[in-house]
Amino acid sequence: MRKSVKLILTCGILVLISLPLFAQAIPQDSLFLGQTPPGTAPEIFTLPVAPGSFAAERIAISGDGKEIYYSGIRSYYPTSGDTIKYYRYTENGWTGPFNLFNGFLACCLSVSGDTMYMQNNIIPYQMLYSVRNGTVWSTPQRFLNGLNSAHYFQVTNNYHGYIASVSSPTLGASDWCRVKISQTDTTAVSLGLPVCTAGDNLDFFISRDESFIITANPQPKGLSISYHKNDGGWTNPKSLGPVINFGLGMWGPYVTSNNKYLFYTTGTKQNYSDTYIRWVRVDNLIDSLRHTNFIPYLTSKIPNQTDSVGYKFHYTFPESTFIDDDGNNTLTYTATLINGNPLPSWLSFYPETRTFDGTPSSVANYSIKVTATDSAGEVISSVFTLRIQNPVADIGDDRQGLNDFRLFQNYPNPFNPATTIEFAVSKPGRYSLNLYNTLGELVKTISDKEYETGFHKEILEANELTSGVYLYCLKGDEAEVVRKMILMQ
């Protein structure tokens, strides 16, 4: 499977050798079927379809602009009447539309234009490919069979594959993912937060240079853009705005190779009677949104805390809990009770170090809201519960209760490739910190040594591990605590 997928990704290189060196360029006034280019307000891109159908989903335009492929759809859910159609420009002008494939939709061309990716109307989604020999396309063949779902596959200039699929772990019903090819398998690895959401992350477009990704967000509905960061992650998505996101739903994004025009599908009626593929100029918008304020976001909720009456409570939440793509030094923090009232008098919050500290005097439960505010006044919050209970003590032993043997949630989580694990022990002794898979099998010993009373932290390096859910366990002093972590390679 690995060899066949790589062949599909790269076979298009060979066709470049046979392309005419002096192929006549298409006249500027004939580009895009000769239709007048839009400004910053979307216009309908006229594409004929069969009676009772409508043009929808992503389109594909060849590198020289002389071929345009699109889908005709009769209905959705289930999808029916879908046909891939195309126009071709010759010395005599545009010819078409021609039917290319029946029963397929959402076409996409490889970098060289010799391979077409598409999908059928089967759910879970399946991806297929066709290879061109001259002007003839081969019968579509399924690939990426090992994925639970395969939707909107596309390839970048670096021959990196991206897809909407069910990853492990996953944030939503499906996630936007990188396709990873190993010696034995092909897997989808989620792009994670903040690009993916808890919803069904499906239609998207990745720029050929991987500098940005446009996503059709499930909630709130609309097209958004994220930018690739230097650390390999992605910025918090920004909406493309109400002028573009005016319909009941926006899907099927495609951006021309010069990043000048965005094509997408939308309509305002539930029966699809006014659904069209529209296009709009976005090059200035793509550039300007890159330089406007990014709203901070939450990478993982602050975990609930438990402590005992009469014992000092001390907790610092990780800096990575809240992220601001403008720079985390722009964030300021406040903490109140969830109803907006001040914290109890015994509990202090130090925003400079993100630390709670104090000694409770009575049993209580507190819902605490931590708010991060950026320099533009945008906010994001996380709520956690602090439970104060009576101390637990062993007969004949004057040590502090078991609540002082604590294992905190690792951060960041999910993580790649390293994460920090903090814990506290109430008496000196030998403690082990081990990593297990979900079958309970020991994967790695993180630490096994003597620790003094107090707070400690260890770093887990997971370069050699595969993506998935793991359990980490702190054991010692006749006590044991287990927590869950997620590795996303």
Give residue-wise pLDDT tens across range 108-123. Answer: 999 999 999 999 988 7
Q: Which CATH class is domain 293-391?
A: mainly beta
Between 124 and 370, the higher pLDDT residue: 370
87 vs 398, which has greater pLDDT? 87
Q: What is the mean pLDDT of the chain?
A: 89
Integer Cα distance of 343 and 325 in angstroms: 29
- Percent of the chain at pLDDT exceeding 90: 68
Domain boundaries, the chain: 2-290, 293-391, 400-489
CA–CA gap between residue 485 and residue 242 (Å, rounded): 38
Average pLDDT in the 79-93 region?
92
Computed on alpha carbons and rounded to an integer, the radius of gyration of the chain in Å comes to 27
Q: Is 32 helix (H, G, I), strand (E, B) or coil?
A: helix
Give mean pLDDT, residues 83-95: 94
pLDDT tens digits, one per residue of 438-478: 888 999 999 999 998 888 999 999 999 998 889 999 998 77
- What is the C-alpha separation between 433 and 456, in angstroms, rounded? 11
Q: What is the mean pLDDT of residues 49-54?
A: 95
Structure confidence at residue 103 as a pLDDT band (50, 70, 90): very high
How high is the pLDDT of residue 5?
52
- Topology match between the domains 293-391 and 400-489: yes
Tell me the pairing of strands 222-227 and 468-476. unpaired
The whole-number average pLDDT for the span 240-254 is 96
pLDDT at 408 (0 to 100): 85
pLDDT cut 70: percent of the chain above it: 92
Give the model confidence (pLDDT) of 180-214 as tens digits: 987 777 899 999 999 999 889 999 999 999 999 99
pLDDT tens for each residue of 411-425: 888 888 999 998 888
CATH class of 2-290: mainly beta
CATH 3.40.50.720 fits 400-489, yes or no: no
Q: What tens digit of pLDDT does each residue of 139-169 get?
A: 999 999 889 899 999 999 999 999 999 998 8
pLDDT at 8: 56
pLDDT-based confidence at residue 7 (cuts at 50, 70, 90): very low
Predicted confidence at residue 2, as pLDDT, reads: 45
Residue with tokens 């601001």, as numbered in its chain: 324
pLDDT at 21: 38
User: Mean pLDDT throughout 355-375?
Assistant: 95
Maximum CA pair distance of the chain?
Answer: 98
Would you put residue 336 in left (φ > 0), alpha (ψ -120 to 50) or beta?
beta
- The least confident of 16-25, 122-131, 329-338, 454-463 is 16-25
Each residue's pLDDT tens digit, 288-331? 999 999 999 999 889 888 888 888 888 899 888 999 999 867 89
Token duo for residue 381: 């919050």
Q: What is the dihedral of CA 232, 216, 34, 155, to 10 degrees?
A: 40
Which of the four pLDDT bands, split at 50, 70 and 90, describes residue 400? very low
Sheet with 54-61, edge to edge strand ranges: 54-61, 67-73, 83-90, 93-102
Specify whether the CB–CB gap between 415 and 395 falls below 8 A.
Answer: no
Tracing tokens 């494939």 back to the chain, one arrives at 101
pTM across the whole model:
0.77
